[in-house]
Structure 1
């Protein structure tokens, strides 16, 4: 039974991450639609609103809840708490905080309130990537991973992502 639950847990993690990867893209597109003239702006925002609601309520939220149910179920069936799992859980907690932050942006954009620029949203779009790297490496490599080297790799990943975002910004500004 454990392996079936683990398989379901992984599936719902994947669908949850899919939602967290795509949702900020929709935020960016919806924000950039603000710069379009009427009636295009209203048409785009109406379409993005439909897409955001379907993604958020139909895929992302249910996946987050099922992941949250299956994770502790698997943990309790282990009857042991290895050290790597505690560190992974810290990152999972951070991921849920990020998820709730995205929920706040979702609520704002549904109400046509745009607190963040598309550039700021592009940065937030990469946060899930950092959590994904940290969580997967901890789950797969487990105790064979040095915490110092792992954190150094995460810092390097963040630096590479920020450089890529800035390069993309410059490319867009030239066009």
Structure 2
């Protein structure tokens, strides 16, 4: 019964962690785009984004990551046989990637706070998709488990990655065209 409670907690905090990771990068994008405003506007927005990013990061995202990991460790302690399964090794590799992504986001947050970030909003949009790819990889690995299905899952991930990158580039082109039209109409 403890295993099922740990599993439920694990799933709940994975959702919270992923929501935080998705939203923090959106905040980074808006924070970066605020640099194009006047100095006065940017000053106000910069302070607000620092506050929002900090609260999201330290109250929701980071605690959710640690609670996800603790619940996972409880499940592995109760059922150590999971560590002998190949799919679990693959999943844990993707999870390690997600943890590294988490701390890379933290680094970006500190750079934005210190006004030393060199990330463009387009680059951040692409960065945001990496979390999506990792989430898909983890979920498909856990659900499919078998090697053959995992190969199809990887191919699907590649197609998803390419599709997401194309969507970001199309959005940038659309946004640039829309901004050009606004400038012409002014």
User: Could you tell me the TM-score, scaled by structure 2's length?
Assistant: 0.90
Match of 1:64 in 2: 65
Alignment deviations for residues 110-135 of structure 1 (CA, whole Å, 9 cap, x no partner): 11222211111111011110011011
Q: How many equivalent pairs are there?
A: 175
1:82-121 matches, within 5 Å, as 82-121=85-124
Which is richer in helix? 2
Larger-gyration structure (1/2) = 2
In the alignment, structure 2 segments of 5+ residues that lack a partner are 179-186
In the alignment, structure 1 segments of 5+ residues that lack a partner are none
Deviation at residue 146 of structure 1 after TM alignment: 2.4
Alignment deviations for residues 79-109 of structure 1 (CA, whole Å, 9 cap, x no partner): 3122111110010011111111111101111
**Kept in 2: contact 1:12–1:67 (CA 8 A):** yes
**Kept in 1: contact 2:140–2:150 (CA 8 A):** no
Is 1:163 the counterpart of 2:166? The answer is yes
**Kept in 2: contact 1:130–1:157 (CA 8 A):** yes
SS at match of 2:118: coil
Alignment deviations for residues 40-78 of structure 1 (CA, whole Å, 9 cap, x no partner): 111111111110000000101101111111112212211
Q: Give the whole-Å Cα distance in 2 for the aligned partners of 1:145 and 1:111.
A: 47
* Root mean square deviation, CA, Å: 1.2
